[in-house]
Amino acid sequence: MDKILRVDTRKRRIDVLPVTEEETRWGGRGLIAHVLLREVPPTCEPTGRRNKLIFASGLLADTNVTTVGQMSIGGKSPLTGGAKECNIGGGAGRRLARLGVRALIIEDTPAETGRTDVLEIRAEGSCLVEAPELKGKLVDETIAALRVKYGSKVGIFCIGPAGEMVMYAAGIACPDDSDVQIRFAGRGGLGALMGSKGIKAIVVDDTGSTYKAPIHDKALLQETSRWMAEALLKDPKTENRNTFGTPAILALASASGLMPTRNFSSGTFEKADDIAGERVREEILARGGQTGKPCVTGCVIQCSNLFPDKTGKKIVASLQYESICLLGSNCGIGSLDDIAEMNHFCNQVGVDSIETGAAIGVAMEAGVIPFGDAEGAKDLIRQIGQGTWLGRIIGHGAKLAGRVLGARRIPVIKGQAIPGYDPRGVKGNGVTYITSPMGADHTAGNAFETLKYMDVLKPDGQVEISRKLQIRAALLDTLGLCLFVRPPFVKRPEQFGNLLKGRYGWDLSFHDVQLLAWDTIKTEREFNERAGVSERFFPIPEFMEDEPLPPKNAVFDVKMSDMGSMWDGGFTPLDDF
């Protein structure tokens, strides 16, 4: 990956720049962090001229290592105001890597608002094309129209009407090659950032690419890569993920009392059985859907699914734990069909299902519609796409909706909705939400696994565990690997070094590879500190300190002084992964 594309949306000019030696060391999330700190004023208006939308490949993106097709997308987050990175599957990321594009950086805003451009990226050159016919189109409609024009061999990123209207809950969609799954860079409002640049879609066509990844040691890379795939396939966690997908954890989440329910007023849902992973699989199999689908070509874990209606027609793909939880239990909705349809509507208007579920939850607490009102909730999501006043309120996320609609419990940290793990029920996650540069984002360091080996209701040790989980997540996000590849590396963390040595020839111990992760976090923290998005200004929502969470009845009580000093000592290497 030898080039960086810079798109100036005001001058409508695209520059192709060689990747520098320094930039070669930055991958995925780390590359986004460095570009932000180097080029974006930390206090800039997130949907203004000075912010940049960055698509970055992980360090291993142009190899055949399993799961690496995931793409990092980031910028200064409209919701948190800090550094943001989301990584997603779909068919476009791998194509960018095959074109040798390490990063695509979209700059400035068009002089006039309301543009609808398509950014075409091709081997022979890239350009911005006006596409007024796509204005206001839903995500499915947009993809279908692009397929007519560009065919089935291109990769696509696009936004729905929510992104075009610069709503802060908007995400960026990326279909797989068959347009069955729509993957979403949901968190942080990156769809609003793309909308502010006037770009409705990006089409990536790698036909005719002459780029060849300069693999330093093919044998080593191939051997390590094969070991990784085989070890993953043998691991029982992989089997569980393949069988049930992310909804696998739902029953335990509810039983443990950490699953957001009715706007975070309970940690357990009486209809958990009806929406749990087992039930998801059962319905999918009975209706002729699919489990065990990959989100990127070449993934051996294949944790995704296709959830059909009773006639076998797809409602949504993939139906995931976070969506079931935030759109389901958190709204008091216990029917998988309703939840899948809500999820589908979110994907159509182009908003994050987590942020939107949390926003609907606060709207329900505020009395806009009652808890459990699935039809009302669907209508609210439709209204986001229509841009009604109420739709705009919901479409800007839980914090704004809670304030405008008058809810008291607003489950956000750094302006971003808390995902499917109530911080009172699994305190390590609370620490991650507060201390991670990403804000309330479980992918930055999910302590769900700590249920198995520590007391998740006590404050003790949570800071330590979150730090460890955050380094782990940043490491994978920087290499461009999925969070689910961990199992084989637990016993052999030195294999990360072998992957990088195979690709680049670098000699890195496990400790050195961790330094790449630490560099990512440190750079993000520096950006956030300058942006005013330090953990000390964004504590836990007060109701989580004041109201014990049934049924375990814990409040969140990890001290800010402990969390605030979490990284004070700098980097402490992990012994194991």
- Contact between 195 and 46 (Cβ < 8 Å): no
State which of residues 17, 38, 43, 490 lies at the interface with its own copies (CB under 8 A): 43
Give start and end residues of each alpha helix (H) in 288-352. Answer: 321-323, 336-349
Closest to 192 in 3D by CA, of 28, 415, 363: 415
* 3 state SS for 72-141: EEEEECCCCCCEEEEEECCCHHHHHHHCCEEEEEEECCCCCCCCCEEEEEECCCCEEEECHHHCCCCHHH
Of 388, 483, 564, 565, the residue at the interface with its own copies (CB under 8 A) is 388
Of 505 and 532, which CB lies nearer to its own copies in the complex structure?
532
The conformation of residue 326, written as its DSSP 8-state character, comes to I
* CA 5 to chain CA mean position, Å: 23
Rounded least distance, CB 329 to its own copies, Å = 23
| 182-185/172-175 β-pairing | antiparallel
Shortest gap between Cβ of 201 and its own copies (angstroms)?
A: 20
Interacting residue with its own copies among 11, 16, 113, 313 (CB under 8 A): 113
Minimum gap (Å) between residue 367 Cβ and its own copies = 10
Kindly determine how many residues on this chain lie close enough to bind its own copies according to the rule CB under 8 A.
33
Mark residues 174-213: x for contact with its own copies by CB under 8 A, - for none: ----------------------------------------
**Closer residue to its own copies (CB): 265 or 450:** 265
Burial class (CB in 10 A: 0-12, 13-18, 19+), 512: middle
Least distance in angstroms from the C-beta of 541 to its own copies: 8
Does 555 contact its own copies by CB under 8 A? no
Give the Cα separation of 513 and 221 in Å (integer): 16
Residue 168 or 307: which CB sits closer to its own copies?
A: 168
169/248 with CB nearer its own copies: 169
DSSP 555: P
Closest approach, Cβ 396 to its own copies, in A, equals 6
DSSP structure string for 10-65: TTTEEEEEEPPHHHHT--HHHHHHHHHHHHS-TTS-TTSTT--EEEEE-TTTTS--
Task: For its own copies, give the closer residue by CB, 64 or 388.
Answer: 388
**H or E stretch at 478:** helix 462-479
Residues 389-408 that bind its own copies (CB under 8 A): 389-390, 392-393, 396, 400, 403-406, 408
Question: Cβ(543)–Cβ(555) under 8 Å?
Answer: no
By CB under 8 A, is residue 48 in contact with its own copies? Answer: yes
Site for its own copies in 533-552 (CB under 8 A): 534, 536-539, 541-542, 546
CB burial class (10 A; 0-12, 13-18, 19+) of residue 216? middle
What is the smallest separation between the CB atom of 404 and its own copies, expressed in angstroms? 5
Smallest separation (angstroms) from its own copies to the CB of 108: 11
Question: Where on the chain is the footprint of its own copies (CB under 8 A)?
Answer: 43-45, 48-50, 113, 165-166, 168, 388-390, 392-393, 396, 400, 403-406, 408, 410, 531-532, 534, 536-539, 541-542, 546
